[in-house]
Amino acid sequence: MGHVIVKDLCKNFIERRRARRVLNSEPDTHLGERLEVLDRINLEFQDGELVCVLGPSGCGKSTLANIMAGFERWSSGAVLIDGKEVAGPSSDNIFVFQHNSLFPWMTVQENVSLGLRHMNDKVKMAELVQEYVDVVNLTGFEHHYPHQLSGGMQRRAELARALVVNPEVLFMDEPFAGLDFLTRLKMREEVINMHQLIGKTIIFITHDIEEALMMADRVVLLTDRPARVKLDTKLESPHPRDFVCDSQLEDLRREVYQELGVHYAL
């Protein structure tokens, strides 16, 4: 299970700094100016789907992911995971962060076993941890501390930490930000392979159009703030994908660029 429904989701921030001094009849606005971030978002994520959410920077992609993962409250609407309203963070849906969020005082092994710390069978726990450390190709680095690893290895360790708890949904908020080009490509491949292997729902936030088109089963494009769903397209092309041979992909790429207001990049 890993079925996520987002229904009429709205999110407003109140910006206190720009508070108006004039008394206003509206009850909310006396605190400050309202900043609409999400505007009636309707989305459904099927179980086992890898969906990339694209959008211009600052449009509210991360806010959407944070809300779905239970880190932030929304203003109106509903978010349901497997039929239950999201009430807060839970280890059923793990978030992989944009910046490095491994605990620097723990080794790779200790970090990966965070989600399993309540397991009574310590032998089985160690086996599971080892299994996922192997899955992300970190064999031999179990006892290294995060600062002793490269950026790509840190992301992979983070991935292992998320996967080992067997979450229903995996949220990834620009998990490859700050990695070099080649490492990014390798990480894409690894996430795709892992997704095919494990078949969990992955909601992948990115601003990289190529990345989204290469990886996703479905691409969701958000508009500039306040974010609305502008495009929601399924991608049928099998992996590995290639823009040159695949006209559907090429057309979609053109469309996405056009929607984002870029005309000369092609």
Partner 1 sequence: MDYDRLRRLLLPLLVFLAAGACWEGLARYSGWSASVFPGPRETARGMWELILNGTLLKHSVASLFRVTVGFYLAVIVGIPLGIILGWWKTGQVLFNSMIQFLRPISPLAWIPLAMLWFGIGDKPAIFLIFLSSFFPLLVSTITAVNRINSLYFRVAANFNFTKLEMGTRLIFPAILPGILPALRISLGIAWLVVVAAEMIAVKSGLGYLILDSRNALRMDYVMDAMIAIGVIGICLDRIINQLKRIKSVSWGSI
Question: Minimum distance between the CB of residue 114 and partner 1, rounded to whole angstroms?
Answer: 5
Question: If binding is defined by CB under 8 A, does position 73 make contact with partner 1?
Answer: no
Give the shortest CB-80-to-partner 1 separation in angstroms: 19
Q: Name the residue among 110, 44, 120 with its Cα closest to residue 83.
A: 44
The end-to-end CA distance of the chain, in Å, is: 39
Per the CB < 8 A criterion, the answer to whether 88 and 240 are in contact is no
Contact with partner 1 (CB under 8 A) among 8, 42, 89, 242: 89
Report the residue number, 44 or 103, with the smaller CB distance to partner 1: 103
Work out which of 71, 80, 125, 126 binds partner 1, going by CB under 8 A.
71
For residue 81, give both structure tokens.
Answer: 């995971």
Compute CA distances 173 → 33, 87, 183, whole Å: 27, 20, 17
CB of 248 to partner 1, least distance (A): 36
DSSP type of residue 28: S
CB of 94 to partner 1, least distance (A): 6
What is the nearest approach in angstroms of partner 1 to the Cβ of residue 137? Answer: 22
Token couple for 21? 């001094």
- Look at residue 132 and give its three-state secondary structure: helix
Task: Restricting to residues 97-126, name those near partner 1 by CB under 8 A.
Answer: 97, 99, 101, 103-106, 114-115
Between 8 and 47, how does the x/- string for binding to partner 1 read (CB under 8 A)?
----------------------------------------
- Residue 46 C-beta: closest distance to partner 1, Å: 23
Least Cβ distance, residue 104 to partner 1 (angstroms): 4
- Residue of the chain from 41, 65, 94, 216 that contacts partner 1 (CB under 8 A): 94
Q: How far apart are CA 217 and CA 198, in angstroms?
A: 15
* Shortest CB 173 distance to partner 1, Å: 11
Distances (CA, A) of 34 to 31, 41, 193: 9, 18, 42
- By CB under 8 A, what part of segment 155-184 binds partner 1? 165
Question: Can residue 243 be called a binding residue for partner 1 (CB under 8 A)?
Answer: no
Contact 200, 23 (CB under 8 A): no
Q: Tell me the number of residues near partner 1 by CB under 8 A.
A: 22
Cα(116)–Cα(125) distance, integer angstroms? 7
- The token duo for 229 is 């769903």
Helix (H) or strand (E) holding 97: none
Interacting stretch for partner 1, rule CB under 8 A, among 7-15, 93-101, 179-187, 213-221?
93-101
Say whether residue 227 binds partner 1 (CB under 8 A): no
Q: Cα separations (Å) of 142 from 92, 107, 262?
A: 24, 7, 44
Contact by Cβ (8 Å): 6, 229: no
Binding site for partner 1 (CB under 8 A): 69-71, 88-91, 94-95, 97, 99, 101, 103-106, 114-115, 145-147, 165
